[in-house]
Each structure stands twice: as C-alpha cells, then as structure tokens.
C-alpha cells in the first residue's frame, strides 16, 4: 500500500502529510514532484495544503495544468483515491474533479484556528472509521475557504450525500457563529459523486498526534488504510 504526496512549488503541508503517513502511521509514502507524469503506482494520492504557484490568478488555478495533475486526473478517472487538503481542495475544484469553488473568507481575513467538524457521511473510503454525526476538533488555516456553488449544484451534492464534513460547534450545533468562513451550508468537505475524491479545507495531518492537541484527523488516513485493505482482500 503506497501513498503519494504531490509537491507543487509553494506546497507547505507536504512534509506534515508525509510525516503523519510514514512516521505516525508507518505507511510507505513517496513524494511526487509537480513535473512528474505519473503518480508512482500509488493507492492514494494526497494534494497537500500550501500556496501552489503562489496562489497566482486563483488559488489552485495554475496547479490544475501541471503535468502531475494530468496523471491525477487519469488516476481519479480509474477510481483511485485522491485526498485534497486545503489548497489541495482548491486544486480539486479548479480541476473540476469536485464541484463548486472556494471564495475568499466572508470576513476577508486569513483564518488560522481550531474548528469543530461534524462528520456527515461515514460511508466513504475516507471516513469509515468515524460514526455518523461525530464531532472532531481540527485546525483550519486559509484565506479562501468559503465554499460556493450554484444553488442547483448545492441541492445535488446534498441529495447525493456528497457533503462529508460541516463546520459546527463543540456539541455539533450549527449557527452563524460556528461557520468560520461563510461556506454555503457550512460545508467544510465534499466527496465526488463516485466517492473516490475528497476535498476538505481543515487539516487532518495537523490533528493526528496527541502532542498537537487532537487526533481527530488521523482517522481520515486510517479510514483510507482500512478501505484499501478491504479492497485488497476483496471483502467489499
């Protein structure tokens, strides 16, 4: 089982993801440079956070056309697992691998803080170790995390249970005060219609060790491991 962490010029959470996957979870993990044209036979590709290509033009817009993203496209088309975190989520929406777009935060500021997330769909390769409605604490750090899509798209992703994580309060409650960036429907993460591409603004790799304050994020990666193992042993 191999994980690939894509490195764009300006990625800055690539080492954090690599650390959690290889050191904390003991998994085979490789970096894939943006100029590479394949994903090194990985079972799961991580698009990490950061400021790929300086966030020039729009966050994620230039990364979309890098050679590695053509490979990620093909990988996703074949059903491969792709996890986009923060800037990685922005790259996925710009690449049209996920619907919608990420606008500047409602308050106009960069936000770096812990938030609470409600797990809304546990029937995915990325969330199968969570329980439905479970609340986890996890950090966000972004300027453009305000999820937006046209009303008909929002309706569709709600109906298809593509909303995977929503911002909430510590008890799972949702109100204007628990939505940090103005995202429509408090959406923090969505999954593709086919269920193999997940994008989320919060950083699970920064919530994977007790020493960092919470371990809620670790189960995102562990869910992928479980799912891949079950695939391998044909129990799904």
Partner 1 sequence: MKFLGKVTVTLKRGVFDPQGVTIKNALHNLSFREAEEVRTGKYFEVVIEAANSTEAEKKLSEMCDLLLVNPVIERHGCHVEPIEEMESAT
Element (H, E) at 94: helix 87-94
- With CB under 8 A, what is the number of residues at the site for partner 1? 19
Our finding on whether 65 is near partner 1 (CB under 8 A) is yes
Residue 112 a catalytic site member: no
Our finding on whether 15 is near partner 1 (CB under 8 A) is no
Nearer to partner 1, 9 or 104 (CB): 104
**Cα–Cα–Cα angle for 64, 67, 69, rounded to 5 degrees:** 40
Is residue 166 classed as helix, strand or coil in its secondary structure? strand
Interface region with partner 1, contact rule CB under 8 A, candidates 70-78, 97-105, 154-162, 218-226: 97-105
Nearer to partner 1, 106 or 135 (CB): 106
Element (H, E) at 102: strand 101-103
- Dist CA 150 CA 3 (whole Å): 33
Provide the minimum distance between the beta carbon of 151 and partner 1 in the complex, in angstroms, as a whole number.
9
- Dist CA 2 CA 51 (whole Å): 25
Q: Where are the alpha helices (DSSP H) in 95-161?
A: 151-159
Q: Among residues 148, 156, 169, 214, which is the contact residue for partner 1, using CB under 8 A?
A: 148
Q: Which of 13, 86, 94, 168 is catalytic?
A: 86
Our finding on whether 58 is near partner 1 (CB under 8 A) is yes
Q: Among residues 1, 25, 101, 135, which is the contact residue for partner 1, using CB under 8 A?
A: 101
- Dist CA 145 CA 167 (whole Å): 12
Residues numbered 175 to 194 that lie near partner 1 (CB under 8 A) are 182
Residue 203 a catalytic site member: yes
Our finding on whether 104 is near partner 1 (CB under 8 A) is yes
Provide the minimum distance between the beta carbon of 84 and partner 1 in the complex, in angstroms, as a whole number.
16
Is residue 147 classed as helix, strand or coil in its secondary structure? strand
Our finding on whether 57 is near partner 1 (CB under 8 A) is yes
Provide the minimum distance between the beta carbon of 154 and partner 1 in the complex, in angstroms, as a whole number.
12
Residue 233 a catalytic site member: no
- CB atoms near residue 152 (< 10 Å): 7
Nearer to partner 1, 24 or 61 (CB): 61
Three-state SS for 176-200 is HHHCCCCCHHHEEEEECCCCCEEEE
DSSP per residue over 53-99, as a string?
GGG-SSTTTTGGGSHHHHHHHHHHHTT-EEEEETHHHHHHHHTTSSS
Provide the minimum distance between the beta carbon of 104 and partner 1 in the complex, in angstroms, as a whole number.
5
- Dist CA 220 CA 199 (whole Å): 12
Point out which residues bind partner 1 (CB under 8 A): 57-58, 61, 65, 93-94, 100-101, 103-108, 146, 148-150, 182
Active site residues: 86, 203, 205
């Amino acid at each position: 089982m191999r994980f690939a962490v894509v490195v764009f010029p300006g990625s800055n959470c690539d080492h954090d993801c690599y650390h959690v996957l290889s050191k904390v979870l003991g998994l085979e993990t490789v970096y894939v440079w943006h100029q590479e044209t394949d994903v090194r036979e990985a079972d799961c590709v991580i698009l990490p956070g950061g400021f790929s290509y300086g966030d020039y033009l729009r966050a994620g817009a230039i990364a979309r056309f890098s050679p590695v993203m053509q490979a990620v496209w093909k990988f996703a088309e074949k059903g491969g697992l792709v996890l986009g975190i923060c800037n990685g989520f922005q790259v996925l929406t710009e690449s049209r691998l996920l619907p919608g777009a990420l606008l500047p935060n409602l308050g106009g500021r960069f936000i770096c803080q812990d938030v609470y997330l409600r797990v809304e769909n546990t029937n995915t390769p990325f969330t199968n170790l969570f329980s439905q409605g479970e609340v986890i604490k996890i950090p966000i750090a972004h300027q453009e995390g305000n999820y937006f899509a046209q009303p008909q798209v929002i309706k569709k992703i709600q109906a298809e249970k593509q909303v995977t994580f929503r911002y909430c309060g510590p008890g799972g409650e949702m109100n204007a005060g628990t939505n940090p960036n103005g995202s429509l429907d408090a959406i923090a993460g969505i999954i593709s219609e086919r269920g193999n591409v997940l994008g989320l603004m919060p950083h699970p790799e920064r919530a994977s060790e007790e020493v960092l304050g919470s371990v809620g994020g670790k189960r995102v990666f562990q869910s992928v491991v479980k799912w891949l193992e079950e695939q391998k042993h044909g129990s799904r």
